């Protein structure tokens, strides 16, 4: 037993030494030895080969399925506007079958509404040898299945232990480093060391995800005293951005592992964590953010105004609170490539540990980050209008669908005010087309 224990200890020491020498140290110094690039090259070639095999193996009636994005949905919608259809029904004599139009609209809204589908993982056009959940997957050949099996072995027996080791080093370094820096008195030295710790640990954590990040328009990077506003797909959004610069982050208080990291990080940097359910705390947050923005020497604030994670296809309503603070807004668009891994966190289904396990057993995390020109609130523009303008800019840059709905619908029911608004719009359609008047006349004549 002692021999086995000593062998395991030696193997572990060699493994840790290689990880530290080949990955951690280069990551801390911000250099690359080309290992990640070589891995991505092999991965891309493998997925290209798999895609060709899938296209060749699909039967003749089915190739069109591969070219039709799965995001088109599972039902075929009638794109005729409701107002136009009501006008058409009004011009002809009423038939009992006319009610089926409204029944169909109701079923469409229930089966596949445009909101709740944003809180489930994005479907892929073609299988990526990673998941069998997308609707276009079909058994093609034994060769393809063997490659998938080899991929499972590589991901779970090599990549997962490697990534777990890197994540453990990165998280431990973050907790220890920020705790030590937090003991120093407030000074420029403390701020400098805090930035070094955050940057270094973020680079290690990005390597733990096999992250490949493309930053665009770096001349527009957020400046001190400003507010960085970005769309939100995953908790790793913050790591993706911190890998290229430091921020004072704002977010909800979490428990578990995330809570430990939050409590350690706030000791070294003035991050702002708040309880979502406490309104008084929100008012305090707004006050602290205004004080932060007023100090031009402090790091830019990083805010995700959607308030929850959306599935990498859309940008939903921005909460106006972030745009009432004042100061310059630096919009940032983040778009992940789903071919290599699903970065979306469905927090109502998976806890943070389960989520990290899922992305650590994916091929890689690949994304594009666009820094956009700074924006300020125009004269006569209220906070809601400003928030919508920033959201539209981010959606256009990231190629995302812009939706006016509140991301809070992920956990809550639709507010009565939204229902009343839709009811008013429907009533206006009927009145405009004379349906109400006709019904009233018919009733009186009866």
Which pTM does this prediction carry?
0.77
What pLDDT, on a 0 to 100 scale, did the predictor assign at position 394?
95
Contacts 24+ apart (CB under 8 A), 110-114: 111/74, 111/75, 112/73, 112/74, 112/75, 114/403, 114/405
Q: Average pLDDT of 74-91?
A: 57
Per residue in 340-374, pLDDT (tens digit) is 888 888 877 778 788 888 888 899 999 999 999 99
Contacts for 382 with CB less than 8 Å, ≥ 6 apart: none
Q: Average pLDDT of 263-288?
A: 73
Among candidate residues 316, 377, 370, 368, the one with its CA nearest the CA of residue 343: 368
Q: Which residue has the higher pLDDT, 22 or 72?
A: 22
What pLDDT, on a 0 to 100 scale, did the predictor assign at position 285?
73
Question: Cα–Cα distance between 441 and 445 in angstroms, integer?
Answer: 6
What pLDDT, on a 0 to 100 scale, did the predictor assign at position 18?
79
Q: Average pLDDT of 107-121?
A: 66
Per residue in 145-185, pLDDT (tens digit) is 888 889 889 999 999 999 999 889 988 888 888 888 888 88
Please measure the distance between the N-terminal and C-terminal CA atoms of the chain and give it in whole angstroms.
Answer: 97
What pLDDT, on a 0 to 100 scale, did the predictor assign at position 446?
44
Residue 230 pLDDT level (bands cut at 50, 70, 90):
very high
What pLDDT, on a 0 to 100 scale, did the predictor assign at position 88?
59
What pLDDT, on a 0 to 100 scale, did the predictor assign at position 241?
92
Question: Cα–Cα distance between 112 and 417 in angstroms, integer?
Answer: 22
pLDDT tops 50 at residue 441? no
- Return mean pLDDT, the chain: 78
Beta strands in 75-204 (DSSP E): none
Question: pLDDT over 90 for what percent of the chain?
Answer: 13
What pLDDT, on a 0 to 100 scale, did the predictor assign at position 258?
76
What pLDDT, on a 0 to 100 scale, did the predictor assign at position 97?
62
Q: Which helix (H) or strand (E) holds 159?
A: none
Among candidate residues 13, 112, 115, 37, the one with its CA nearest the CA of residue 70: 112
């Amino acid at each position: 037993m002692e021999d086995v224990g000593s062998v395991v200890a030696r193997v572990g020491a060699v493994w840790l030494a290689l990880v530290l020498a080949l990955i951690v140290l280069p990551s801390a110094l911000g250099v690359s030895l080309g290992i990640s690039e070589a891995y991505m090259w092999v991965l891309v070639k493998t997925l290209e080969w798999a895609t060709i095999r899938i296209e060749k193996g699909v039967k003749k009636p089915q190739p069109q399925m591969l070219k039709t994005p799965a995001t088109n949905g599972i039902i075929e919608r009638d794109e005729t506007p409701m107002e136009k259809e009501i006008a058409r029904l009004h011009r002809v004599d009423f038939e009992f079958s006319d009610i089926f139009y409204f029944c169909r609209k109701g079923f469409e809204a229930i089966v596949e509404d445009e909101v709740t589908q944003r809180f489930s993982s994005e479907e892929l056009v073609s299988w990526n040898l990673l998941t069998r959940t997308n609707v276009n997957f079909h058994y093609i050949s034994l060769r393809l299945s063997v490659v998938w099996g080899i991929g499972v072995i590589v991901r779970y027996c090599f990549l997962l232990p490697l990534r777990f080791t890197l994540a453990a080093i990165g998280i431990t370094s973050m907790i220890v480093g920020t705790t030590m820096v937090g003991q120093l008195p407030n000074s420029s030295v403390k701020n400098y060391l805090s930035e070094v710790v955050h940057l270094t640990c973020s680079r290690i954590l990005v390597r733990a995800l096999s992250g490949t990040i493309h930053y665009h328009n770096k001349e527009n990077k957020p400046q001190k005293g400003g507010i960085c506003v970005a769309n939100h797909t995953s908790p790793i959004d913050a790591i993706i951005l911190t890998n290229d610069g430091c921020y004072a982050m704002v977010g909800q208080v979490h428990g578990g592992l995330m809570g430990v990291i939050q409590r350690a990080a706030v000791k070294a940097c003035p991050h702002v964590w708040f309880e979502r359910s406490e309104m008084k705390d929100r008012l305090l947050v707004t006050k602290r953010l205004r004080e932060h923005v007023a100090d031009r020497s402090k790091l830019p604030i990083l805010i995700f105004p959607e308030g929850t994670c959306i599935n990498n296809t859309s940008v939903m309503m921005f909460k106006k609170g972030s745009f009432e603070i004042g100061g310059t807004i630096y919009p940032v668009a983040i778009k992940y490539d789903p071919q290599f891994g699903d970065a979306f966190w469905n927090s109502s289904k998976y806890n943070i540990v389960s989520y990290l396990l899922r992305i650590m057993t994916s091929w890689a995390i690949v994304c594009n980050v666009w820094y956009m020109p700074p924006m300020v609130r125009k004269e006569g523009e209220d906070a809601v209008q400003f928030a919508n303008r920033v959201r539209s800019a981010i959606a256009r840059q990231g190629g995302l669908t812009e939706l006016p709905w509140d991301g809070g619908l992920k956990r809550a029911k639709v507010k009565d005010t939204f229902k009343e608004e839709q009811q008013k719009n429907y009533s206006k359609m009927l009145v405009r087309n004379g349906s109400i008047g006709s019904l009233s006349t018919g009733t009186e004549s009866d």
